[in-house]
Amino acid sequence: MIPKNHPRYKSLMVRESLAAAARSGLVSLEGLAAHGRGEAFDYLIGERTTASAAEAERLASRLILSAVRPVFSVNGNCAALAAEEIAVFQKRTGVAVEVNLFHRTEERMQQVADHLAAHGVEVLMGECERLVPLAHDRGLCLPEGIGSADLILVALEDGDRCEALRKMGRVVIAIDLNPLSRTARLATLPIIDELTRALPAITEACGTEMAGDLHTLAASIDNQKFLADALREMRERLA
């Protein structure tokens, strides 16, 4: 039992719920390590949304509003941390939600989809094909989802998929607390913020921001600036 007045109450509760999700198989054991890495970077950035991340979140909402086929790619960690926020985000934006797992089994795919559906998310389901050229299972996706999306929102993953999607001409928004990760460095737009802070901020901005031409807008984004801003914030806190 974690006392409510514990100074790290929220963080400990999130850990506890992720540990339970790992025991049930919703989150992979590796996902717990990924969460710990995120916690460390969140500490460094001050566990708050920086002005630069808020700007990225507004930009993200413009990109999403400008996309014709936006898809949110959700893994076990995302589903366990933010199913409710994903449901609200989807209702506001109409974004398609597809489950994409690194530690993929058909059983886990269904488990993540069921968890999202139980929180009101409409999950795209069907026959996956290897449409993203990757040797591992993140390459498997739905032809009517990530396979034909013009914009893909990814969160809490570091690896080669973002690079592959960019090479396919897709716009990629990455929510990732680690500004040094491959995914953050290679995304069209990196959002260096915690998932459950970033998603509501993007949802809210969708109510005020305007759509434009997706690729013109994407080409105008300086992703290095957002990475540099986050690294500067972290350095300042360390100094």
- Between residues 205 and 217, which has the closer beta carbon with respect to ligand PTJ? 205
How far, in Å, CA of 86 to CA of 29, rounded?
Answer: 22
Q: Identify the CA nearest to 52 among candidates 213, 232, 196.
A: 232
Q: Identify the CA nearest to 137 among candidates 112, 159, 168, 121.
A: 159
Binders in 7-26 for ligand PTJ, by CB under 6 A: none
Q: How far is the CB of 217 from ligand PTJ (least distance, A)?
A: 23
Q: Is 77 in the site for ligand PTJ (CB under 6 A)?
A: yes
Q: Is 50 in the site for ligand PTJ (CB under 6 A)?
A: no
**Crossing angle, helix 106-118 and helix 76-93, to 10 degrees?**
40
How far, in Å, CA of 165 to CA of 86, rounded?
Answer: 22
Binders in 95-154 for ligand PTJ, by CB under 6 A: 101-103
Q: Is 28 in the site for ligand PTJ (CB under 6 A)?
A: yes
How far, in Å, CA of 209 to CA of 179, rounded?
Answer: 25
What are the beta bridge partners of residue 129?
141
Q: Are strands 129-130 and 140-141 parallel, antiparallel or unpaired?
A: antiparallel
Q: How far is the CB of 155 from ligand PTJ (least distance, A)?
A: 6
- Between residues 2 and 33, which has the closer beta carbon with respect to ligand PTJ? 33
Q: Is 47 in the site for ligand PTJ (CB under 6 A)?
A: no
- Dihedral sign of CA atoms 144, 29, 112, 40 in order: negative
Q: Identify the CA nearest to 32 among candidates 103, 120, 86, 110.
A: 103
Q: How far is the CB of 189 from ligand PTJ (least distance, A)?
A: 14
Choice from 57, 98, 157, 160 touching ligand PTJ (CB under 6 A): 157
- Between residues 132 and 214, which has the closer beta carbon with respect to ligand PTJ? 132
Q: Going by C-beta distance under 8 Å and a sequence separation of 6 or more, which residues neighbour residue 23?
A: none
Q: Is 233 in the site for ligand PTJ (CB under 6 A)?
A: no
* Residues 167-196, mask of contacts with ligand PTJ (x by CB under 6 A): --------xxxx--x------------xx-
Give the interface size with ligand PTJ as a residue count (CB under 6 A). Answer: 26
Q: Which residues bind ligand PTJ (CB under 6 A)?
A: 28, 30-31, 34-35, 37-38, 41, 75-77, 81, 101-103, 156-159, 175-178, 181, 194-195
